[in-house]
Amino acid sequence: MEKWQGWRKIRYEAELDPDFPREIASIPGGEKILTCIQCGTCSGMCPLAPYMDYTPRQIIAMIRAGFRSEVLSSYTTWLCASCYACTVECPKEIKLTDIMYAAKRLAIRTGVYPKKFPIPILASEFFKSVESTGRNSEGRLILRLFMRTNPFKLFNQSRLGLNLLRRGRFSLKRESIKQTGELKSILKVLEREHMVKAKDELVPESKVRP
């Protein structure tokens, strides 16, 4: 079994985090997660479900039960390629893709994402590039991803790199917008704003119940 496929863990109820479902439900439209009927349509639709450590349906059940650390450190949320197949099929209109995003952001914010796993590293490198220049430079992004995960794997990619280069499809040029100052002042305003509310900002449980 691959390391990232994980396994089920048993938890004592006292170790669960009862605020976790409300944290996730605090994203716009997120309260619908509390109406999940566990039908499993999301897992059936998900093309990545066979590779996940917990299926999408399990993730919803775990969020609702308060399995905070398991959800946030799972590979499932990062394997979600955001194809929205679950979101369009859910009979209870739960925006599961957005919930996966919320879990990713919470995992990055609290530093519990699976370390050395390339997907969160790709996301954070992409983010850094856009923060500083307003654009992503594809060639540089790929190089930095390999440098931070496994530089030796870069050799396996040399054939692809050369093929792209020969066809004018690969460049290490640093892409940038002209008005970087303008963009920085926009992003600065939102520096401390989060879509997933912090625990002390959560509305009382009675008001979230649908």
Partner 1 sequence: MTYLYFPGCSLKSTGRAYEESVLEVSRALSMPLTELEDWNCCGATAYMSISELKAFALSARNFALAERQAGNGEVDMVVPCAACYLGLNKAKRYLNEHPEIRSKVDEALHAAGLEYKGSIRLRHPLDVFVNDIGLKNIAELAVKPLEGMRVACYYGCQILRPYADFDDAHEPTTMEKLMQALGAETVDWPLKTRCCGGSLIGTVPEVGLRLSYILLKEAKRRGADVLATACPLCQFNLECYQDKMKDMFGENIGLPVVYFTQLMGKAFGLPDNRLGLQRVFVPLVSPKRAKAEVGGVHVSE
139 binds partner 1 (CB under 8 A): yes
Minimum Å distance from CB 60 to partner 1?
Answer: 17
- Residue 160 token pair: 């692809």
Q: Is 208 in the site for partner 1 (CB under 8 A)?
A: no
Shortest reach from residue 95's CB to partner 1, in Å: 8
Q: Are 77 and 103 in contact (CB under 8 A)?
A: yes
Distances (CA, A) of 13 to 10, 17, 18, 62, 73: 10, 9, 10, 12, 19
Kindly indicate which of the ranges 6-14, 18-26, 57-65, 162-170 contains the residues binding partner 1, using the contact rule CB under 8 A: 162-170
Q: Tell whether residue 5 is a contact of partner 1 (CB under 8 A).
A: no
Q: Which amino acid is at 176?
A: S
Q: Counting contacts by CB under 8 A, is residue 115 touching partner 1?
A: no
The neighbour count for residue 131, using CB atoms within 10 Å, is: 12
**Least CB distance to partner 1 at residue 54 (A):** 15
Question: Which CB atom, from 27 or from 71, has the smaller least distance to partner 1?
Answer: 27
- Token readout for 176 is 């940038």
Stretch that binds partner 1, among 9-17, 32-40, 54-62, 119-127 (CB under 8 A): 119-127
Cα 21 to chain centroid distance, Å, stands at 17
